[in-house]
Amino acid sequence: MEKKLKEFLTAYDEKVIPLYKDLALTSWTANITGTDADLAASEKAAFEFDKFYTDAEAFTELKEIKASNSVLDPILLRQMDLIYDSYLSKQVDTSLLAGKLRMETEINKKYLNFRVQVNDKELSDNEVVDILRNSTNVSELQRVWEAHKLIGPVVAEEVIKLVKQRNLIAHKLGFSNFHEMSLKLSGQDPAEVTSVFDELDNLTRDNFKQLKDEIDLYYSKRYKINISELRPWHYQDRFFQEAPEIYSVDFDKYYKNQDPVKLAATFYDGIGLNVDAILAKSDLYEKPGKNQHAFCTDIDHAGDVRTLDNIRPDSYWMNTILHELGHGVYSYYNDMTLPFTLRDAAHTFTTEAIANMDGRFATDPDWMLQMGIISPEESKKIADDSRKALRLQQLVFSRWAQVMYRFEKSMYEDPDQDLNKLWWDMVEKYQMIKKPDDRNMPDWATKIHIALYPCYYHNYLLGEVLASQLYSYITTNITDNKSFVGDKAVGTYLKEKVFMPGARYYWNDMIEKATGEKLTAKYYAKQFVE
């Protein structure tokens, strides 16, 4: 059977590598030019790549090999399991998959076409964000918040239908629901993820409650109302997923005369992870038609790694370039002797962890001092507020991610339950925000991720949790330098224990081998909870 598998893998690699490269390259180009022709080429490549995995004959062959239980070589076994999951998700009646895609396209159109109306005036998304953030007029805040939530009833029914369609596909493939299927096929055990979320909930609850009292006090002064009168529209953010700026450090001013790319390159080179080859292939600055966000892509799992950014000299882009190059070094310093399928991250959230760990340095006064951005006096002056601001940001996001994870899980388990109530029960419990009186609206459907990027959000929080675990391990066992600056031992450790293992191990085994423990929220709590 091992011989049969080897033959299968040789044929598989021969076909999949060019399809993958084509997908990565056309998508890269489309994101830079934004032209219709390039977008069409990228869509076509995505279609071809997906189509490859619908091959029922290849799947049957692989299934037979897997069922024989006679493959023992760990590298072969791991490839087999990963490739098997890629095929499995596409082994369902194509009309079901096409139906799902059609529903997603229709719902996406509704989100795109929806415009917020307030007093006969149309508001763009940016204007809504701007008013919620900056207005102190309480009735205006309520009006705008309620108006932007009107996308909920426009899409809610169709989202429930889509959820049922996804569940139907999951049932056909032998899973109890789509949430379970999504996690399992991406190599996560739902029970394992839930236990990390439970641990995190217990560790953050009391501290968040205290901070939430501080936040509420701040807002009651800001709006000159009683704390008991605070409602969701007072929290300066559509979902209270970002922290209010109750501590006053203006990081942007320190980066005004800096070159974030040069700083990031110097930092990575200093820890033994030179990024020149990545930067040489990257597209770093604003251009007409270009994607305005940022990402990092591994074009061939063989050293062609690039990042797309729109760098400006401010703290946001300092964080972003450190973040994207974190993804970059993970890919670039992979073990090139591994087979193609394993020259990848252990999981998407493990590469997110490296990116987050490094991105956090952009607002770390000690890092800024060691990188020559600020003076020792300035570093000392902002140390306390910087730490508090990061803690607040982490805890606010962490409680919000609890809502997203638990709502989605419960929704896929029973889409016929009262979802409006479920949503507000979660918001009140985890974010400790009071539901507006008598509100019975599908506010859950106003978060586009619920409809169109399903069962993925929890990975953002797992990335933060692992970032803290790795950071704690490194600063306890590898270096005395809390900012890593200039310490090549950090790069050596990351290469050997995280990057080069690639996807060779199940993610929690990789984490255990790298830190001596499975994924735990302990270090996240140590860093952000007092």
Q: Which residues bind Zn ion (CB under 5 A)?
A: 355
Q: Which residues face 116 on adjacent strands?
A: 123
Question: Is the Cβ–Cβ distance between 150 and 123 less than 8 Å?
Answer: no
Toward Zn ion, which CB reaches closer, 42 or 320? 320
Q: Are 339 and 75 in contact (CB under 8 A)?
A: yes
Tell me how far the alpha carbon of residue 134 is from its chain's centroid. 27
User: Smallest distance from the beta carbon of 468 to Zn ion, in angstroms?
Assistant: 16
Q: What is the closest distance, in whole angstroms, from the C-beta atom of residue 355 to Zn ion in the complex?
A: 4
Q: Which residue is nearest to Zn ion (CB)?
A: 355
Nearer to Zn ion, 297 or 527 (CB): 297
Q: From the CB of residue 512, how many other CB atoms can be counted at a distance below 10 Å?
A: 14
Nearer to Zn ion, 394 or 479 (CB): 394
Q: Specify the residue, 357 or 433, whose C-beta has the smaller distance to Zn ion.
A: 357
Cα Rg of the chain, angstroms = 24
Q: Which is nearer to Zn ion, 355 or 455 (CB)?
A: 355
Nearer to Zn ion, 44 or 449 (CB): 449
Question: Between 326 and 491, whose beta carbon lies closer to Zn ion?
Answer: 326
In the bound complex, what is the minimum distance in angstroms from residue 359's beta carbon to Zn ion?
8
Q: Residue 148 and residue 117: Cα distance in Å, rounded?
A: 8
In DSSP terms, which residues pair with 308 in a beta bridge? Answer: 283, 295
CA distance 293 to 447: 19
Non-local (6+) Cβ contacts of 440 within 8 A are 420, 421
Q: Could you tell me the smallest distance in angstroms from the CB atom of residue 470 to Zn ion? A: 15
Fill in the amino acid letter for 305: V
- Quick count: other Cβ atoms within 10 Å of Cβ 105? 10
Cβ 463 to Zn ion shortest distance, Å: 7
Compute the half-sphere exposure of residue 189: CA atoms within 13 Å on the CB side of its CA.
Answer: 8
- Name which of 327 and 409 has its Cβ closer to Zn ion: 327
**Minimum distance from residue 345 beta carbon to Zn ion (Å):** 11
Q: How many other CB atoms are found less than 10 A from the CB of residue 69?
A: 8
Instruction: Find the shortest distance in angstroms from Cβ 201 to Zn ion.
Output: 24
Distances 524 to 196, 197, 394, 443, 473 between C-alpha atoms, Å: 11, 12, 9, 30, 12
Residue type, 169: I
Q: Any bridge partners for residue 33, and if so which?
A: none
Nearer to Zn ion, 38 or 358 (CB): 358
- For 404, the 3-state DSSP assignment is helix
Dihedral sign of CA atoms 183, 187, 193, 195 in order: positive
**Segment holding 491, helix H or strand E:** helix 488-494
Smallest distance from Zn ion to CB 460, Å: 9
